[in-house]
């Protein structure tokens, strides 16, 4: 199927959508019974009046968590304001079950693993912004080389239970949905300036208003630094949202965005000797340079048939260009060297010899789709029901070239590889909420995923070729959850669902054009837990979980430390653990105006290979059954203190502990000379933020210290050596709202 066929499909879907709205709109009064029954916590009329039309996985109110049949979290606007994060990872550490790995210290690339899953490029998590997927290619290449800036977020939703089957395709780990600011109801202007170590500068401006029935919000973000740890970056980020009524029962929301980044991102890390000698922040590959540009747009149409039913249709599309200059290097002396050497040359494999050539990995991605989603509240006798369902048609295409440069900083040169990877996905999903009683809810659901993909190889390793192959994958994804509310405070939940993730296209079809017939990455995910109301003085959630993989595809991409070619179905793995989160709002108990909260978030997970899997190293073969999975710390803990006074002073103190973790399948303990293997020790980091609200001019000033104790710790040993967490980072800023 070519792009013309895809557009033709899309055209007929749009026609069908418009025809359905017209038909149902004319007969809504007769076909859809009006009832006085409204959703428990958020009425259709309030959605119709105030909210920007977009997909929320939990809802706009924290209390809606109690409706979710599984573990869920909301990183609130207040939490973001109190913490003043530099990166999103600071906030994800306060969510149970999440392992957020700092790659470069600036939060430019999200590496998030849930419940022991591999965090590399967040491949096992569905990442969205305002309900729209944001990965390079959500099905065939779900890597997060673009990550939304935490600076412009209002809140973040996290979902890990069976409710994730309403979304897709990555339903194994869970869903993360970044929420941006909506158009305000009245005239609003906000300005923020922040500066810090290493030439860090962050400037933001946002303006919004609602005039008659048109609401709009425009935001611009620029941030840069010449050195945070080893990272230099320059980013411009522009976002616009517009909402307007198109009739008494319909409205449209439009969002457009542009992102441009230039940074010295690199895969090359420190050798073991460099780390041992304290050369923590040596820039090993100063010529490496990554350019990312992204254009995105979405249009969301809401049509309200009655107080009980409405249709939300999302059209989305984006393009991402990711051009990456990476200087070649060798672990042993070879030809065409620059003479620049890092590490210990007396140890085999302990040095990095920089070469006078480059490999430019240039990629461009196109993504487009349409998703009508129908919500309907109805009764079967006296049994209340809420139905949500719909379908999605999704198209994605990746253009990839490798261009080998003949000098250490060349962006042009000889075309080595050239190919196109194309994918088409059709999804149908439905979930029904049966209110067995006022306290007991049963929520079954199912998702059907069909993914067709092909790989066209035109040139590889300097050889002209013409290889095309394709494959198709159909997968049913069932799930069911239950929720029981004892009263307005406590509830228990349990659920089971099928986890699904298709293999990357270039893993499923080899460079030689052979379709490996890889299975989808499949799991059965179970969880059960108890939680208190989000609004209660003592909020807690305790969840036990088990993820049983019938086939976990072991990543072999360069970013995960692999060879990048060739793959077989990985094998069975098991993840068993528990999450606990608790918050004490002491000020509510003491009924004082001084706001004082203590929070703790912990995760325990035992992630192992649960069947025979043989690894050959040299002349020896090892069975890694019962070994720990790489990059799956067994224990993580974050504690947080929030203190706010009536006269405007606020303090946030947060400390995080990450347990030790293995970095390879063999669970090697001793560090290898290249730094790529070996046990990663546990580490502790502490962040402090103090702010002061000047209410008479509606502004605030703040001071922040990240890694306050200046801890030196290894965040990763991949892709190609040791990456060290950022040193103590001090910043200060001012916010003004008009």
Quick one: tokens of 285?
A: 């590959």
Mean pLDDT throughout 624-635? Answer: 92
Report how far residue 419's alpha carbon sits from residue 83's, in angstroms, rounded to the nearest whole number. 44
Label residue 620 exposed, middle or buried (CB < 10 Å: 0-12, 13-18, 19+). Answer: exposed
User: With 60 as the cut, is the pLDDT of residue 538 above it?
Assistant: yes
Q: What angle do CA 217, 218, 221 make, to 5 degrees?
A: 135
- Asked if residue 542 lies in contact with residue 532, where contact means CB atoms within 8 angstroms, the answer is no
Instruction: Tell me what pLDDT residue 46 has.
Output: 47
Of 294, 292, 343, the closest CA to residue 317 belongs to 294
Q: If you compute the radius of gyration of the chain from its CA atoms, what whole number of angstroms results? A: 26
pLDDT of residue 357: 96
Q: List the one residue out of 281, 300, 507 whose CA is nearest residue 390.
A: 300
- Rounded Cα distance between 82 and 653, Å, is 10
pLDDT at residue number 171: 82
Give the mean model confidence (pLDDT) for residues 402-407.
Answer: 96
Q: Is the pLDDT of residue 311 over 60?
A: yes
Tokens of 589: 């108990």
Model pLDDT, residue 67: 76
Highest mean pLDDT among 78-92, 108-122, 356-370: 356-370
Given this model, what pLDDT does residue 16 score? 42
pLDDT of residue 729: 96
pLDDT given at position 552: 62
Residue with more model confidence, 344 or 68: 344
pLDDT of residue 615: 83
Average pLDDT, the chain: 87
Q: Does residue 330 surpass a pLDDT of 80? A: yes
Largest Cα–Cα separation, the chain: 84
Nearest of 126, 16, 115 to residue 71 by alpha carbon: 115
Q: Is the predicted pLDDT of residue 487 greater than 90, yes or no?
A: no
Rounded distance, CA 519 to CA 516, Å? Answer: 9
SS3 245: strand
For residue 45, the 8-state DSSP code is: H
Q: What is the pLDDT of residue 38?
A: 33
Q: Of the ranges 251-255, 446-450, 589-593, which one carries the lowest mean pLDDT score?
A: 589-593
The structural domains of the chain, with segments of one domain joined by +, span 32-737
DSSP structural state of residue 96: T
Q: Which H/E stretch holds residue 702?
A: strand 699-706
Average pLDDT of the residues in 316-331 = 96
Q: Is the pLDDT of residue 508 over 80?
A: no
pLDDT at 510: 73
pLDDT at residue number 359: 95
Integer CA distances (angstroms), 637 to 92, 157, 581, in order: 12, 20, 10
The per-residue pLDDT for range 200-232, each reduced to its tens digit, is 999 999 999 999 889 999 999 999 999 999 999
Alpha-carbon gap, residue 539 to 38, rounded angstroms = 27
Rounded to 5 degrees, what angle do the CA atoms 408, 413, 414 make? 125
Checking if the pLDDT of 560 tops 70, the result is no
pLDDT of residue 10: 43
pLDDT at 40 over 60: no
- The arithmetic mean of pLDDT across residues 322-339, rounded, is 94
User: Top-level CATH class of 32-737?
Assistant: mainly beta
Instruction: Specify the range with the lowest mean pLDDT, choosing from 46-60, 287-301, 635-649.
Output: 46-60
- Give whole-number Cα distances, 371 to 83, 131, 295, in Å: 35, 11, 20
pLDDT tens digits, residue range 145-202?
999 999 999 999 999 877 788 998 888 888 999 999 999 999 999 999 999 999 999 9
Q: For residues 491 and 83, what is the distance between their CA atoms, to the nearest angstrom?
A: 29
User: What's the confidence (pLDDT) of residue 376?
Assistant: 94
SS3 category, 675: coil
**Residue carrying structure tokens 């800023």:** 733
Q: Is the pLDDT of residue 27 over 60?
A: no
Cα 123 from Cα 172, distance rounded (Å) = 10
Q: Taking the model in full, what pTM does it have?
A: 0.90
Q: Say if residue 133's pLDDT is above 70.
A: yes
Reference 528, options 115, 161, 171; nearest CA is 161
Question: What percentage of residues in the chain have a pLDDT greater than 70?
Answer: 89
Q: Which residues have C-beta within 8 Å of that of residue 541, sequence separation ≥ 6?
A: 71, 96, 529, 530, 531, 532, 579, 580, 581, 582
Average pLDDT over residues 84-112: 90
Q: How confident is the model at residue 26 (pLDDT cuts 50, 70, 90)?
A: very low
DSSP 560: G
Q: Where are the beta strands (DSSP E) in 436-462?
A: 440-460
Count of other CB atoms within 10 angstroms of residue 390: 18
Residue given tokens 């990095």 in the structure block: 352
Average pLDDT over residues 59-65: 68
Q: How confident is the model at residue 558 (pLDDT cuts 50, 70, 90)?
A: low
Note the pLDDT of residue 561: 54
Taking 90 as the threshold, does the pLDDT of residue 601 lie above it?
A: yes
Reported confidence tier of residue 50, pLDDT bands at 50, 70, 90: low
Instruction: Answer whether 605's CB lies under 8 Å from 116's CB.
Output: yes
What is d(CA 652, CA 76) in angstroms, rounded to the nearest whole number? Answer: 14
- Least Cα distance to 361 among 398, 324, 397 occurs for 324
Query: Measured between alpha carbons, how far is 637 from 582 in angstroms, rounded to an integer?
Result: 12
pLDDT at 372 > cutoff 70: yes
Task: For residue 30, give the 3-state DSSP assignment.
Answer: helix
Highest mean pLDDT among 77-91, 349-363, 525-539: 349-363
Is the separation of the CB atoms in 542 and 534 below 8 Å?
A: no
Instruction: Please state whether the peptide bond connecting residue 169 to the residue before it is cis, i.e. omega within 30 degrees of 0.
Output: yes
């Amino acid at each position: 199927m070519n792009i013309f066929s895809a557009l033709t499909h899309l055209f007929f879907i749009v026609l069908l959508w418009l025809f359905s709205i017209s038909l149902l709109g004319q007969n809504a009064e007769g076909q859809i019974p009006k009832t006085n029954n409204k959703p428990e916590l958020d009425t259709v009329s309030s959605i119709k009046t105030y909210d920007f039309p977009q997909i929320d996985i939990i809802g706009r109110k924290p209390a809606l968590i109690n409706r979710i049949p599984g573990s869920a979290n909301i990183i609130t606007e207040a939490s973001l304001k109190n913490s003043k994060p530099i990166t999103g990872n600071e906030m994800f550490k306060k969510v149970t079950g999440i392992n957020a790995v700092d790659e470069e210290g600036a939060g430019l690339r999200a590496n998030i693993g849930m419940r022991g899953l591999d965090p590399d490029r967040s491949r096992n998590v569905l990442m969205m912004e305002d309900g729209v997927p944001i990965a390079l290619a959500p099905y065939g290449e779900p890597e997060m080389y673009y990550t939304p800036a935490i600076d412009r977020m209002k809140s973040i939703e996290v979902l890990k239970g069976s409710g994730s089957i309403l979304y897709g395709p990555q339903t194994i780990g869970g869903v993360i949905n970044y929420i941006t600011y909506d158009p305000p109801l009245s005239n609003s202007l906000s300005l923020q300036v922040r500066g810090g170590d290493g030439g860090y500068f962050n400037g933001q401006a946002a303006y919004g208003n609602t005039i008659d029935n048109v609401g709009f919000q425009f935001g611009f973000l620029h941030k840069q630094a010449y050195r945070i740890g080893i990272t230099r970056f320059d980013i411009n980020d522009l976002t616009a949202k517009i909402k307007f009524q198109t009739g008494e029962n319909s409205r449209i929301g439009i969002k457009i965005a542009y992102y441009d980044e230039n940074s010295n991102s690199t895969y090359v890390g420190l050798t073991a000797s460099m780390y041992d000698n304290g050369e923590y922040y040596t820039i090993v590959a100063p010529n490496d340079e990554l350019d990312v540009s992204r254009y995105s747009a979405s249009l969301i149409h809401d049509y309200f048939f009655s107080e009980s039913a409405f249709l939300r249709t999302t059209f989305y599309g984006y393009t991402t260009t990711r051009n990456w200059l990476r200087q070649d290097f060798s672990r042993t002396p070879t030809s065409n060297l620059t003479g620049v050497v890092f590490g210990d040359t007396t140890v085999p494999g302990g040095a990095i010899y920089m070469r006078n050539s480059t490999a430019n990995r240039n990629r461009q991605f196109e993504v487009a789709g349409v998703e009508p989603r129908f919500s309907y509240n109805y009764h079967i006798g006296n049994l209340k029901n809420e139905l949500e369902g719909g379908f999605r048609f999704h198209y994605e295409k990746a253009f990839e070239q490798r261009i080998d440069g003949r000098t250490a900083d060349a962006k042009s040169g000889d075309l080595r590889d050239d190919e196109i990877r194309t994918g088409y996905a059709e999804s149908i999903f439905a979930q029904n909420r049966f209110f067995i009683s006022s306290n007991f809810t049963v929520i079954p659901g199912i998702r059907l995923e069909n993914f067709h993909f092909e790989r066209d190889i035109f040139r590889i390793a300097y050889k002209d070729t013409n290889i095309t192959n394709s494959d198709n994958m159909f997968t049913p994804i069932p799930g069911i959850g239950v929720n029981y509310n004892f009263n307005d405070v406590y509830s228990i939940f349990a659920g089971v669902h099928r986890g699904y993730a298709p293999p990357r296209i270039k893993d499923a079809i080899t460079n030689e054009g052979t379709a490996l017939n890889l299975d989808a990455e499949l799991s059965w995910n179970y969880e059960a837990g108890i939680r208190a109301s989000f609004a209660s003085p003592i909020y807690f959630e305790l969840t036990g979980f088990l993820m049983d993989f019938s086939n976990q595809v072991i990543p072999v991409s360069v970013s995960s430390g692999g060879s990048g070619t060739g793959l077989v179905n990985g094998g069975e793995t098991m993840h068993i653990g528990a999450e606990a989160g608790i918050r004490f709002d002491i000020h509510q108990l003491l009924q004082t105006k001084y706001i004082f909260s203590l929070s703790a978030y912990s995760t325990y997970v035992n992630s192992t290979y649960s069947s025979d899997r043989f690894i050959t190293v040299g002349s020896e073969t090892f069975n890694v059954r019962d070994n720990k999975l790489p990059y799956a710390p067994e224990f993580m803990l974050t504690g947080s203190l929030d203190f706010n006074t009536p006269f405007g002073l606020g303090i946030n103190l947060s400390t995080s502990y990450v347990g030790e973790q293995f970095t390879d399948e063999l669970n090697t303990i001793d560090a290898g000379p290249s730094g790529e293997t070996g046990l990663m020790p546990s580490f502790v980091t502490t962040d402090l933020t103090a702010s002061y609200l000047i209410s008479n001019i509606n502004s605030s000033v703040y001071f922040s210290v990240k890694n306050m104790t200046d801890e030196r710790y290894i965040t990763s040993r991949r892709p190609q050596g040791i990456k060290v967490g950022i040193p103590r980072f001090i910043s200060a800023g001012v916010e003004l709202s008009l």
